[in-house]
Structure 1
Amino acid sequence: MRITLTTFLLALTISSWGQKKYQLKSPDGKLIAAISLNDKISYAITHQNDTILKPSVLNMTLNNGVTWGKGSQLRSAKTTTSHQQINALFYKRNQIDDHYNELVLSFKENFNLIFRAYNEGIAYRFVSTSDKLITVKNEEAIFNFTKDFNAYVPYVKGKFKDIESQYFNSFENEYTYTPLSKISADKLAFSPLVVSLDNGKKVCLAEADLESYPGMYLTNTNGSKSLQSNFAHYPTATKQGGHNELQQLVTAREPYLAKSKAKAQFPWRIVIVSTNDKQLADNDMVYKLAAPSRVADASWVKPGKVAWEWWNHWGISNVDFEAGINTETYQAYIDFASKNGIEYVILDEGWAVNKKADLFQVVPEIDLKKLIAHAKVKNVGIILWAGYYAFERDLEKVCKHYSEMGVKGFKIDFMDRDDQQMVDFHYRAAEVAAKYKLMLDFHGTYKPTGINRTYPNVINFEAVHGLEQMKWTGPELDQVTYDVTFPFIRMVAGPIDYTQGAMRNATKRTHRGINDEPMSQGTRCRQLAQYVIFESPLNMLCDSPTNYEKEQECTDFISTVPTVWDQTVALEGEIGKHIAIARKKGDQWYVGAMTNWDARKTELDLSFLGEGSYVAELYRDGANANRIASDYKKETITIPANRKLSVSMAKGGGVAMKIYKK
């Protein structure tokens, strides 16, 4: 239902200052956005009498000299409330309760400013009402906090000579926990970004519906208690280069951010407010604010698991051929996938001739038609890796050719930008791929902003400091703490291609980066738990068939755990310390829990199960897991009648379980 109301709007005109103030409340009345219009437009946010943001200006400057938000003349103001159910595809729940109050401010300068108040946050966006094309020169989004709070800052990773060079990055990050005033003026950070407030509250800054516009970076250039927006300008010129000649490197930029179509809708700026950390581990605002699906029938999109070779370095043994990029190796991966009910096998980098950026040049060691035919007989789909430029330059031809051959999708890699040109590519790729019934996994790219709702064939994203980092780093990298940090921050934006599933597991002391025989930090049960905790509709099995066949009990759990869900419940969690999540598919529940490097005993509240008697297949850390990380124990237990289940986790440990009625 959608109802137009006026009771949610409070308008106050102060004639002596010529100032108008509007107030918009969340449906539960706890969150309030106070919008002020005078020479500038600003907004402030309170939550149950706590000030979340002090008055913070927002504006957008066009190339014609007009600035929306400075000296703008209000034409009208209208409020509505909306309460509806969204049928979500390939997501952590199949139904989303979409309930908000909305304020639309219309201005004589041919734009609207829309605010929405949800129970979990406030969002706003600019909308052009002009029939003409416009050019956006700059946008200013300021987030003014009341104190010098600490923030979890995902700086752009690497060493850079200036801000411009930071716009070319992989969007993989660790988090720096620092006061707002100490955020480096020389570094960009990308959203989502979380700020810790008083009284256990957190603010997560994010964006949604990023279409035909650059992504928003966050920075603090003046040592204040504020965060300011920053955007890559539109490329004037690019050249082929980068990784294996598969990237487009920006050599010059225009003096503007974006050229936008008539009546363009610009991205939502989101301020999520939580009262406890577990709320951040289960938040739907980015998905709710994204444009609805443009794919009329997405029934052909089949999420699932993927047997993957790159992480384990084609690590098959006990065979009569030399494992590597060749037909025999991929046939073995297909046979393994088929035997274990795994839906897909990926051919990662190497199947196409190197440094040619031409996806029609297949290396002679690969008989692609033979592999696709073999996979079809085995009821396994083939997904192909593609470097960005190789895919973009022949987009329609590549999609048509490989769709007709029987390929099910592409993993596109090394975009490493989020200016308007690159954002446009993502939408264009999604549209063309949908036309040919191809799924897309965007790797080497910016965080999701809702395109997975708009184009449900976009089935996954990287933009995460995933398990691949374990191949080349040792104990100096604390991946275990990262694993219990990003589900509260990065995963707010959407699903992740983290690529878990390691069967070689190491403690903090024993982990080493070994490319040919990589290992994970933390316990075996931690790897199992990640298949429940991490949202990943297309989910990799990163280790080799040889290792999985030695560990069939764990393989059976991994291969049968769902990748999309009917329901999700965040059970508990604290950023950087621990997390526990329950997810339901059909009549079965799965629960995953992880801790940081602290051994932890916790009591899980399983009251969501409802009435009846339940049994759980429980995978827990073994008695010696603190020393031998692969040590685990599987047991079948009865869920207590009071629904309180005590579980213990080793250092860097985890728990995974499958729950079903007796």
Structure 2
Amino acid sequence: MWYFVHILYVFNIIIMKKPLFLILFVAWTISASAQTFSVTSPSDINTITFELRDGVPFYSVDRLDRPVLEASRLGFELQNMRNLDAGFTVASHEITEFDETWTQVWGEKEHIRNHYRELRVSLEESGADARQLDIVFRAFDDGIGFRYEFPEQSNLGAFNIMNELTEFKLTGDHESWWIGAYQWNRFEYLTEHSPISAIDTVHTPLTMRTADGLYIAMHEAALVRYSTMTLERTDGFTLKANLMPWSDGVLVRTASPAVTPWRTIILSDTAGGLIESYLVLNLNEPNKIEDTSWIKPSKYVGIW
């Protein structure tokens, strides 16, 4: 069953989407001296909390006041320049709510609702050569997503990422379903079933079930001009973003302005809820093909 959960979940990612209409957009910006900010999903189910501890960014996730992720690190190690992982102050933060319904070109469902609340935290270093980093969190009723954004700036032109420090600090030794990464045959393996403590580095989506029955699926969305993310267990029940490298060890070559893919976490009280979620699809870029009349479902037999 879980092998098919993974197939259907990944299949959701590639289905095109087309905007239909915008219902609601409310925003406010607050210059912030506080170091902790939270955003909760529209139905007050999932909460993301950002915290700056002595200049170091962290985030955590709760569902109905139940911890899902404990305080987890954020940031980057860069090549031949200062890392973007500490020495920050919060320049500002912004909370927005967005609600739209868009039409899917083809798929299980024609009309998809995209409803979330967003927290954007703008971080800034001190000094004459200070750099900026934005972290954007979106809270949906069926999970959360977040990504980094590098605004255009003179102190951060072209740069190479050597390590993405993003952590996912789990609350226990969850039951998990996974495929190992960095193996010779890539994705051509059966899904393994084990506690989190038994895994090393795995492909996404990584699916988990907690002792109290919460289902979790970790993946990514809007993967464009960036390295694919695997998940590495680093300590106890802590997972870390592990990016596929170039041959010289560089993980990502980029320049500001730039964005990373969304790091996504689907949360559901049932296994079926993972398949029914459109969170990953909603975080992908909208379809840019104006005429989609020629796109029709079909059957295929052969080697993919």
TM-score by length of 1: 0.39
Q: CA deviation at 1:64?
A: 4.4
**Structure 2: how far apart are the matches of 1:90 and 1:62?**
41
**In structure 2, how many angstroms separate the alpha carbons of the residues matched to 1:102 and 1:5?**
9
RMSD: 2.1
What residue is the counterpart of 2:123 in the other structure? 107
Distance 2:261 2:25 in 1: 24
Map 1:83-98 → 2, pairs under 5 A: 83-98=99-114
Q: Residue 230 in 1 paired to residue 229 in 2? A: no
1:120 matched to 2:151: no
Aligned to 2:174: 149
Per-residue deviation, 1:12? 7.8
Q: Deviations over 1:240-290 (max 9, x none)?
A: xxxxxxxxxxxxx12311111431111000111111111112111111000
Summarize deviations over 1:491-512 as a string: whole Å, max 9, x none.
xxxxxxxxxxxxxxxxxxxxxx
Gaps of 5+ in 2: 1-22, 125-130
Question: How far did residue 70 of structure 1 move?
Answer: 1.8
Contact 2:214 2:269 (8 Å CA) reproduced? yes
Q: CA deviation at 1:204?
A: 0.8
Alpha-carbon distance in structure 1 between the residues aligned to 2:116 and 2:223: 20
Q: Contact 1:111/1:130 (CA < 8 Å) preserved in 2?
A: no
In structure 1, the partner of 2:152 is: 130
**Residue 288 of structure 2 aligns with which residue?**
294
Aligned-partner Cα distance in 2 for 1:126–1:256? 18
Q: How does 1:481-500 map to 2 (within 5 A)?
A: none
**Partner Cα separation in structure 2 for residue 25 and residue 12 of structure 1:** 21
Which residues in structure 2 correspond to 1:569-608 (within 5 Å)?
none
Deviation at 1:301, TM superposition (A): 2.1
Deviations 1:56-75 (A, max 9, x none): 11212222423333222321
User: How far apart are 1:32 and its partner, in Å?
Assistant: 0.8
- The aligned amino acid for 2:244 is A
Equivalent residues of 1:31, 1:47 under 8 A apart: yes
Tell me the percent identity.
25
Q: Cα offset for 1:2? A: 3.9
Distance, in Å, in 2 between the alignment partners of 1:301 and 1:266 is 29
Q: Give, in angstroms, the shift of residue 233 of structure 1.
A: 1.1
What residue in structure 1 maps to residue 81 of structure 2? 65
CA contact (8 A) 2:159 2:254 kept: yes
Which amino acid in structure 1 is aligned with residue 145 of structure 2? A
Q: Which amino acid aligns with 2:241?
A: S
- Mapped partners of 2:262, 2:69: distance in 1: 17
Letter in 2 for 1:33: I
Structure 1 segments of 4+ aligned residues over 6 angstroms from their partners: none
Are 1:181 and 1:225, in contact at CA under 8 Å, matched by a contact in 2? Answer: yes
Q: 1:24 corresponds to which letter in structure 2?
A: V
Q: 1:227-266 maps to which residues of 2 (within 5 A)?
A: 227-234=239-246, 253-266=247-260
Q: Give the number of the structure whose alpha-carbon radius of gyration is greater.
A: 1
Please, which of 198, 203, 213 is the counterpart of residue 226 of structure 2? 213
Question: How far is 1:173 from its partner?
Answer: 2.9
Contact kept in structure 2, 1:110 and 1:129, CA below 8 Å: yes
SS in 1 for 2:161: strand
1:267 to 261, 270, 276: 261
- Structure 1 residue 141: Cα displacement: 1.9
Unaligned runs of 5+ in 1: 14-19, 157-162, 235-252, 311-347, 349-442, 444-662
Q: 1:272 and 1:62, CA in 2 relative to 1: closer, same or farther beyond 3 A? A: same
Tell whether 2:298 aligns with 1:304: yes
Equivalent pairs counted in the alignment come to: 271
SS of 1:181 mapped into structure 2: helix
**Which structure has more strand as a fraction of its residues?**
2
Higher relative contact order (CA 8 A, sep 6+): 2
Question: What are the equivalent positions in structure 2 for 1:414-453 lying under 5 Å apart?
Answer: 443=304
Is the contact between residue 21 and residue 36 of structure 1 (CA under 8 Å) also seen in structure 2? yes
* Letter of the structure 1 residue corresponding to residue 271 of structure 2: D
The 2-side partners of 1:134 and 1:35 are apart by 26
Higher helix fraction: Structure 1 or Structure 2?
1
Equivalent position of 1:54 in the other structure = 70
Structure 1 residues 72, 12: CA separation in 2 closer, same or farther (over 3 Å shift)? closer
